[in-house]
C-alpha cells in the first residue's frame, strides 16, 4: 500500500455557483492554496412568484456548478474570504460557500493536496449555526423534495446526479429491474429550521418506505448562503427573497419566521439512525466501479457516487479527466475496517491517486424494515 498523508485538521470546502462565476472563483481559491478542486454539474431549485401562467410553465431550473476541495484548517478562512470577495457571495442570489470539518482525511502521495500530516494543531471554527441536509433519491423525485425544502424557507436546494445502490442491488434480478441512477438534493439551513425542513423533505421523498432513498444531516462550521430561491415576473423593485433577507437584518435573526406556523407540529414520527460516520473516497472515474463494489463487499448497507472534473489538475489531459466521489455511512466502530478493506482493494488495482475523508453524521433516515 502506498504511503498516506493523514490529518485530522482538514475541512471540506463547498461552493455553489452560477456557471459564469466558476472560472474566476476557482482560480482565486487555487491561488490561496486550495488543491484538488472538483467541479460537479448541478441545477438549482426555485419557487415561481409569478402569476398562474408562470406557475403552470415555470422557467428551467438554474444551471449551477458545485466546487469541492479538501483544505487545511489553517488556510480555510483566507480561502473562504477570497471566494466571497471574488464571487460577490455576500449578494442575494450570488451563490453559497460553506465548510464542514472532517474527522480525518487520508491522501495518497500522488493526489493533488497541500495537506501535511497534522494531529489537532489547527481545529476548525465551530461557530456557525448551520446544518447541511442531503437526500439521495430515485430519479424524478428530487424536484418534489426540493420544493418541500423551499416551502419551509430553505435557500434554493441544489440537485446533483449520480449513482447509488445497496445490498439488494447485488441480486442479479433486482439489478435488471431497478437502475442505479440517483439524484442528490442538498441544502444548507439554520439549525433552528432544520428539523421541520428535514421532516418535510423526508415526507416528500417518502424516505421511510422501501427503496425510496437515504437522507442525512451534517453540522456546518461556517457558511454564507445566498443561493436564489425565487423567480419573479412582477414589476416590484424587490422579490420575496430580498424582502425576507431585509426583514432578517431588521429583526437581527431569523427566529421571527417560525411564528408564522408555530402552532403546527412538523416533527416526523420515525426512528432516526444516530451518530453515523460518512466515509468518502475520491478516485479517478475509470476506477470507481471496483471501489463501489469493494464498499458493498465490505459490509456497508449502501453506496452512492457523484462524478466531476478536477479543474486544477497539473496537465491539460488530467483537467479533462473525470473523478468519482464514492460515499457510504457506517457506525463509528466500522470505519477503520471498511476504509482498510477499500484501501487494500485500491492498492491491489495499482491506483496511486486517491483520498479518503470522513464526516460526522448525527442524524440519518431510511427504510429500516419491519
- pLDDT above 60 for 57: no
pLDDT at 66: 96
CATH of the domain at 324: 3.30.70.120
* Domain contains 104: no
275-333: pLDDT as tens digits: 999 999 999 999 999 999 999 988 898 999 999 999 986 655 566 789 999 999 999 99
In a domain, 78, yes or no: no
Residue range(s) defining the domain that contains residue 294: 273-305+320-366
The count of domains in the chain is: 1
In a domain, residue 246? The reply is no
pTM for the full predicted model: 0.85
Cα three-residue angle 127-46-367, rounded to 5 degrees:
70
Specify if 69 maps to a domain: no
Q: Is position 298 within any domain?
A: yes
* Alpha helix segments (H runs only) across 258-333: 288-297, 316-319
Q: Is 365:20 a contact under the CB 8 Å cutoff? A: no
DSSP character at residue 340: H
CA 299 to chain CA centroid, Å, is 24
Of the candidates 183, 176, 173, which has an alpha carbon nearest to the alpha carbon of residue 213? 183
Q: Mean pLDDT: which of 165-169, 175-179, 268-272 is highest?
A: 268-272
In a domain, 345, yes or no: yes
The answer as to whether 337 is a domain residue is yes
Residue 285 lies in a domain: yes
Q: Which cell numbers hold the place of 92? A: 442575494
Look at residue 69 and give its three-state secondary structure.
strand
Amino acid at each position: 500500500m502506498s504511503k498516506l498523508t493523514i490529518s485530522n485538521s482538514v475541512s471540506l470546502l463547498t461552493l455553489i455557483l452560477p456557471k459564469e462565476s466558476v472560472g474566476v472563483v476557482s482560480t482565486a481559491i487555487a491561488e490561496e492554496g486550495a488543491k484538488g478542486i472538483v467541479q460537479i454539474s448541478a441545477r438549482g431549485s426555485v419557487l415561481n412568484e409569478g402569476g398562474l401562467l408562470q406557475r403552470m410553465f415555470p422557467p428551467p431550473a438554474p444551471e449551477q456548478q458545485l466546487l469541492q476541495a479538501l483544505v487545511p484548517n489553517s488556510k480555510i478562512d483566507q480561502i473562504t474570504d477570497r471566494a466571497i470577495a471574488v464571487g460577490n457571495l455576500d449578494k442575494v442570489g450570488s451563490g453559497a460557500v460553506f465548510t464542514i470539518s472532517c474527522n480525518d482525511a487520508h491522501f495518497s502521495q500522488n493526489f493533488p493536496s497541500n495537506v501535511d500530516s497534522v494531529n489537532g494543531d489547527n481545529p476548525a471554527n465551530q461557530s456557525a449555526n448551520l446544518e447541511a441536509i442531503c437526500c439521495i433519491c430515485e430519479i424524478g423525485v428530487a424536484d418534489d423534495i426540493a420544493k418541500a425544502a423551499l416551502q419551509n424557507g430553505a435557500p434554493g436546494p441544489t440537485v446533483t446526479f449520480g449513482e447509488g445502490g445497496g445490498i439488494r442491488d447485488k441480486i442479479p434480478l433486482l439489478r435488471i429491474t431497478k437502475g442505479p441512477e440517483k439524484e442528490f438534493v442538498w441544502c444548507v439551513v439554520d439549525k433552528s429550521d432544520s428539523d421541520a425542513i428535514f421532516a418535510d423533505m423526508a415526507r416528500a421523498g417518502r424516505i421511510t418506505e422501501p427503496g425510496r432513498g437515504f437522507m442525512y444531516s451534517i453540522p456546518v462550521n461556517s457558511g454564507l448562503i445566498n443561493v436564489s430561491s425565487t423567480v419573479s415576473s412582477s414589476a416590484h423593485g424587490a422579490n420575496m427573497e430580498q424582502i425576507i433577507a431585509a426583514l432578517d437584518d431588521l429583526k437581527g435573526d431569523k427566529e421571527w419566521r417560525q411564528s408564522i406556523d408555530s402552532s403546527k407540529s412538523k416533527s416526523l414520527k420515525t426512528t432516526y439512525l444516530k451518530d453515523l460516520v460518512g466515509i468518502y473516497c475520491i478516485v479517478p472515474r475509470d476506477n470507481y466501479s471496483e471501489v463501489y463494489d469493494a464498499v458493498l463487499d465490505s459490509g456497508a448497507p449502501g453506496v452512492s457516487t457523484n462524478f466531476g472534473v478536477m479543474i486544477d489538475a497539473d496537465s491539460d489531459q488530467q483537467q479533462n479527466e473525470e473523478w468519482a466521489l464514492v460515499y457510504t455511512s457506517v457506525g463509528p466502530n466500522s470505519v477503520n475496517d471498511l476504509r482498510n478493506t477499500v484501501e487494500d482493494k485500491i492498492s491491489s488495482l495499482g491506483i496511486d491517486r486517491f483520498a479518503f475523508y470522513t464526516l460526522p453524521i448525527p442524524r440519518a433516515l431510511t427504510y429500516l424494515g419491519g
